[in-house]
């Protein structure tokens, strides 16, 4: 099975899990999804004010070179909650299957945890102490929201979406 088939299988499996939640669990998952999106947007705004996009474009996405497994099951849950059409990854990409022409296929509020919380030393050095403290407090809040979301599902949402197929086969 190739990566795109694994991706499609993982998406289908998680769609079923999400739709199969009890109304109470679904309501809680939706509230957490909204909170996760808002937290990611706030984190992104901190680095956006520094011109991080230009810095990242200049380096050519060094931190993105191993991004294939960054998109986690929990990130798909955010898409399902939002009703947003899911992008098609490009697994033949040399850098990250979620990038085209040095641009991420996801808006900041949908990006994986690793992608939205990673800041290189160059960007971190541009943060003042107050902003650095705010950034890391937001990162801690996001981790907490992820843990809470994981408690709603009977599956491990921390794993890469590509590995959901392998887990499904073991049932």
Tens digits of per-residue pLDDT, 56-105? Answer: 777 766 777 767 788 998 999 999 999 989 999 998 877 788 988 778 89
pTM of full prediction above 0.75: yes
Q: pLDDT of 2-37, one tens digit each? A: 889 989 988 998 899 899 999 999 999 999 999 999
Q: DSSP character for 157?
A: T
Which CA distances in Å does 158 have to 2, 19, 27, 31? 22, 19, 20, 19
pLDDT of residue 157: 76
For the chain, the domains span: 3-169
């Amino acid at each position: 099975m190739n990566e795109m088939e694994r991706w499609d299988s993982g998406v289908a499996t998680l769609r079923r899990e999400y739709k199969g939640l009890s109304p109470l669990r679904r309501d809680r998952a939706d509230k957490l999804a909204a909170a996760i999106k808002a937290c990611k947007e706030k984190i992104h705004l901190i680095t956006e004010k520094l011109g991080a996009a230009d810095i990242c474009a200049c380096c050519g996405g060094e931190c993105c070179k191993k991004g294939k497994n960054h998109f986690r099951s929990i990130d798909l849950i955010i898409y399902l909650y939002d009703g947003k059409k899911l992008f098609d990854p490009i697994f033949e990409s040399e850098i990250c299957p979620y990038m085209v022409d040095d641009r991420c296929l996801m808006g900041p509020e949908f990006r994986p945890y690793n992608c939205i919380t990673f800041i290189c030393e160059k960007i971190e050095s541009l943060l003042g102490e107050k902003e650095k403290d705010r950034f890391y407090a937001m990162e801690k809040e996001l981790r907490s929201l992820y843990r809470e979301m994981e408690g709603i599902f009977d599956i491990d949402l921390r794993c890469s979406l590509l590995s959901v197929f392998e887990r499904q086969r073991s049932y």
